[in-house]
Amino acid sequence: MKMFNPPHPGEVIADALEELGLDIRDLARELDVVS
């Protein structure tokens, strides 16, 4: 039986940010956290 290997949450976030033309630093700035 083949096991399902779900995507890493960071990959999902990175893909979403890429579609928006942003990077992780932009997200951190918007969330007011240190990157």
pLDDT at position 35 is 60
Both tokens of residue 9? Answer: 């949450």
pTM reported for the whole predicted model: 0.63
Q: For residue 21, how many C-alpha atoms fall within 13 Å in the half-sphere facing its CB?
A: 0
pLDDT at position 34 is 81
pLDDT digits (tens, 9 = 90+) for 1-35: 788 999 999 999 999 999 999 998 999 999 999 86
C-alpha 35/C-alpha 25 separation (Å) is 6
pLDDT at position 5 is 92
Q: What is the 3-state secondary structure (H, E, C) of 1-35?
A: CCCCCCCCHHHHHHHHHHHHCCCHHHHHHHHCCCC
